[in-house]
Amino acid sequence: MKKLDMIAMILLVIGGLNWGLWGVFDFNVVDYIFGRVWIDRVVYFFVGISAVYIAISWKSIKARWALKR
């Protein structure tokens, strides 16, 4: 599950950076890399699914990654 957590977090960081760049500089990284094709919709879909996954399972993710003392 930690691998899935990491993939979801990486996608959320990519999505957040994309939104930040778009908001400040009107520059969309996903469109720049992939162009206006169907792949950009797939990327946005997985970023959205990652956000839902993190939001729903936040407590269990936190427990998995907690350091044992």
Task: Give the whole-angstrom CA distance, residue 33 versus residue 52.
Answer: 24
In this structure, what token pair is assigned to residue 18? 């994309």
Q: What is the DSSP letter of 56?
A: H
**Three-state secondary-structure class, residue 16:** helix
Per-residue pLDDT of the chain (69 residues; tens, 9 = 90+): 778 888 988 989 989 999 999 999 999 888 888 877 888 888 889 999 999 988 888 888 778 778 655
Task: Give the whole-angstrom CA distance, residue 4 versus residue 64.
Answer: 12
